[in-house]
Amino acid sequence: MRDEDEAVVKPEINQRVQELRELLQQASYAYYILDNPTMEDAVYDQLYRELQDLETQYPELVTPDSPTQRVGEKPAAQFSSVQHNIPLYSLENAFNIEEFAKWQERWKRHIPENSTLSTEYVCELKIDGSALALTYKNGILVRGVTRGDGIAGEDITQNVRTIRSIPLRLNTDNPPPILEVRGEAFLPLEVFEQLNREREKAGEQLLANPRNAVAGALRQLDARLVAQRRLDFFAYTLHFNNQNSDITTPHSKKPTPHSQWESLELLQNLGFRVNPNRKVCPSLEAVRDYYNNWDKQRRSLPYMTDGVVVKLNSIKLQEELGFTQKFPRWAIALKYPAEEAPTTILDITVQVGRTGALTPVAELKPVSLAGTTVSRATLHNSDRIRELDLHIGDTVIVRKAGEIIPEVVRVLPQLRPANAQSFQMPSHCPVCTSPVKREVGEAVTRCINSSCPAILKGSLIHWANRDALDINGLGEKLIEQLVERNLVKSVADLYILTTEKLTSLERMGKKSADKIVTAIALSQNQPWWRVLYGLGIRHVGSVNAQTLTQHFTTVERLSSAKITEIEGIYGIGPEIAQSVWDWFQVEGNQSLIQRLREAGLQLAGEVKTKTESVNQPLSGKTFVITGTLPTLKRDDAKELIQNAGGKVSNSVSAKTDYLVVGEDAGSKLAKGQSLGIQQLSEDELLALIG
């Protein structure tokens, strides 16, 4: 036991703890990164236990980067959503070399013909896992975040720390103040197969595929359960947040990288696993050879890969090309064709969506496809079934569209059994038994009962989702209970729910019920366009909802508008106009609007005249926000700018008027500086708005 009167840790104890950490970190680096073990397992275990004992005896010596701190003792209560310091953009996809060549032509149009910058590529295998964003402050891992929507993700730092190929401390004595590392968490196939063998013995449901197993593991609230999945990680890019400085690693002094290849080498020297199968390709032909070669070899890899990521090697050229609204112009995912497999149609069932659409679904004999077990595939509608000449009992070819959605490609009629049955769409809804209807000119059959439980469930899920009313905690399982217990018969009924009603449901305590009631109440403050989108009117997406509410600033104006008025708005076509007009002609929908008004929902927006719009302080100006502002959240700053007549863009270009800069600003700051764009602090932005 430690002497309570001993106030100071002896220097030799402190020194021994540091020695043990360094020895264990070096051994982990050799084992997990270099694949060249330098220490016997028994020796590692002995040193680990010694360090663990010393830290237990002297808890003040415990540091976040200690090898003993990889797995948290207490499960997290929940994950919080956090904004990425630098957005995680998706990659544009190409599915063959011809599409890749067209992409090459497009980006080349954005640079001068006499440019001297290198146009060689770096090819890396596209790992089939979950993207992560890691933040290191002064060399210590402080944050790990899922990709989310690319702008914000879930803070899963505690779980990220369990992945042994992610260093808790960078392998350098002079780390940058802030380093952002991006990469892919994945599950090795050997581990995946072993986990399934263990689950089968225990009588547990098997994991469907490595990708889903990774995503499910990363969202476990108990980090000890995450550690059991034995996830791995490949790093593929890094950002210095404009802190240009040389970094000393155990192997050499590395300058700030000027190419993707140098970035990968630096990442490996800093302690990360980097995919060893990367290659510099000087031309399209070299990329094609790399792509074709790995198409043959990828099935022998110890992990799943579904394509090749191709990036321009020059970071300066990457910065010049910048981004579209969705993708970087300097990178693309060259995907392999979807795998196809034969299987048998066991049955055809029918699902009912929130718009009442009846969708036939093929129930398949389970088949392995692109690394997943597929047992269902959408058949879209009755026309598609007729086109395929599909019968229950048929042998069919199934593939994954975009390697995500299983679909039936074709039928093998020569294998059709004698007892195969043809399929007819039901004349009545399979959920509520009401008659169904197929409009002339449409391929979709619909349930026309607005009280159908399936339609109600879909409407409630849509109403609560992030892009609509954003009601935190109101998920699909809870909605199913609310509908089944007849506690909710329309979205308006959500606003008369009480804690007492919710606690009558399964697994619903008072504290959770209070949170949901509060979240529902907060949704009353959501703007008019979100309410319109949440109503689920056919063809009205979130962008169209914003466009409509800018022109029809109250629900009364929209509900009384003629089709020609709605159709006359730029971006709103006749199909949308007809759908909106039809919706407001239904008496039940008018009653719903009245109930939402009584519940306090926002059914009107601010009215701005053309003169007011022109005279707004930021009218005609384009802003880009980078970094963390002192008091304003990014969405709040964006709303302030837009309300003052300005526009907010995600990418810096010559058309950007102002760059709003906060702490830990990203690569946009360097781009803005190179273009001479005026920078504003939060205070200066507020002063400009007035």
- pLDDT tens sequence across 120-132: 999 999 998 899 9
CA–CA distance from 247 to each of 26, 167, 250, 318 (Å)?
18, 16, 10, 22
Q: Grade residue 557 by pLDDT with cuts at 50, 70 and 90.
A: very high
Q: Which residue has the tokens 């002896």?
A: 10
pLDDT of residue 647: 80
Which residue type is seen at 603? L
Tokens coding 664: 């830990």
Q: Give the containing element (helix H, strand E) for 556.
A: helix 555-559
Return the number of other C-beta atoms located less than 10 Å from residue 453's C-beta. 17
Q: How far is CA 428 from CA 293, 424, 431, in A?
A: 53, 12, 9
Eight-state DSSP code of residue 121: E
- The secondary structure element, H or E, covering residue 598 is helix 587-598
- Which residues share a beta bridge with 679? 659
Q: Choose the weakest-confidence range: 14-23, 252-261, 606-615, 660-669.
A: 606-615
**Which range (15-19, 421-425, 556-560, 610-614) has the least confidence?**
610-614
How high is the mean pLDDT of the chain?
Answer: 84
Res 37: pLDDT: 64
Burial track 606-617 (b if 16+ CB lie within 10 A, e otherwise): eeeeeeeeeebe
Strand, helix or coil at 348? strand
End-to-end CA distance of the chain: 64
Of 162-176, 310-324, 645-659, where does mean pLDDT reach its minimum? 645-659
pLDDT of residue 71: 57
Report how far apart, in Å, the C-alpha atoms of 122 and of each of 127, 167, 183, 478 are: 15, 24, 16, 47
Does the pLDDT of residue 648 top 50, yes or no? yes
Predicted local distance difference test score (pLDDT) of residue 77 = 56
Structure token digits, residue 669: 């700051």
Tell me the C-alpha to C-alpha distance, in Å, between residue 397 and each of 171, 218, 343, 379, 418: 50, 33, 6, 13, 19
- The Cα 528–Cα 534 span in angstroms is 10
* Pair 385, 394: CB distance under 8 Å: no
476 in Cβ contact with 460 (< 8 Å) = no
Whose tokens are 């950002």? That residue is: 239
Range among 68-82, 214-228, 588-602 with highest mean pLDDT value: 588-602
360-369's contacts with Cβ under 8 Å and 24+ in sequence apart are: 360/385, 360/423, 360/425, 362/390, 362/396, 362/408, 364/396, 364/398, 364/406, 367/341, 367/342, 367/343, 367/398, 368/341, 369/339, 369/340, 369/341, 369/398, 369/399, 369/400, 369/406
Pairwise CA distance, residues 336 & 107, whole Å: 22
Tokens of 7: 């106030």
In this model, does residue 609 exceed pLDDT 60?
no
* 450 has pLDDT over 60: yes
Task: Provide DSSP, 608-631.
Answer: --HHHHHHSTTTT-EEEEESB-SS
DSSP letter at 207 equals P
pLDDT computed for residue 208 by the predictor: 65
Q: Which residues are annotated as a binding site for NAD(+)?
A: 41-45, 90-91, 124, 147, 184, 311, 335
- Percent of the chain scored above 90 by pLDDT? 38
CA nearest 120: which of 254, 306, 315, 307?
315
- Out of 94-103, 243-252, 295-304, the most confident range is 94-103
pLDDT at residue 96 tops 80: yes
**pLDDT class for 45, splitting at 50, 70, 90?**
low
DSSP assignment of 500-520 equals: HHHTTSTT--HHHHHHHHHHH
Please determine, for residue 7, whether its predicted confidence score (pLDDT) is greater than 70. no
CA distance 6 to 648: 59
Residue 122 pLDDT: 97
Which token pair is 182?
């991006």
- Contacting residues for 302 by C-beta, under 8 A, at least 6 apart: 188, 189, 190
Residues 218/146, Cβ–Cβ less than 8 Å: yes
When mean pLDDT is compared across 140-144, 212-216, 557-561, the lowest value belongs to: 212-216
Q: Cite the annotated binding site by residue number.
A: 41-45, 90-91, 124, 147, 184, 311, 335, 429, 432, 452
Structure tokens at 71: 């797995």
Q: How far is CA 131 from the centre of its chain?
A: 8
pLDDT at 523 exceeding the cut of 80:
yes
For residue 620, the cross-strand partners are none
Q: Which residue has the higher pLDDT, 342 or 236?
A: 236
- The whole-model pTM stands at 0.51
Q: Which parts are annotated binding residues for Zn(2+)?
A: 429, 432, 452
Q: What is the pLDDT of residue 402?
A: 46
Q: What average pLDDT score do residues 479-494 get?
A: 92
In degrees, to the nearest 5, what angle opens at C-alpha 218 toward C-alphas 214 and 222? Answer: 130
C-alpha dihedral (282, 288, 292, 298), degrees to nearest 10: 50
d(CA 504, CA 495) in angstroms, rounded, equals 17
Q: How many CB atoms lie within 10 A of CB 543?
A: 11
Confidence of residue 611 (pLDDT cuts 50, 70, 90): very low
Enzyme catalytic residues: 126
Candidates 277, 273, 290, 193; CA nearest to 234 is 273
Q: Which of 266-275, 314-323, 468-477, 633-642 has the lowest mean pLDDT?
A: 633-642
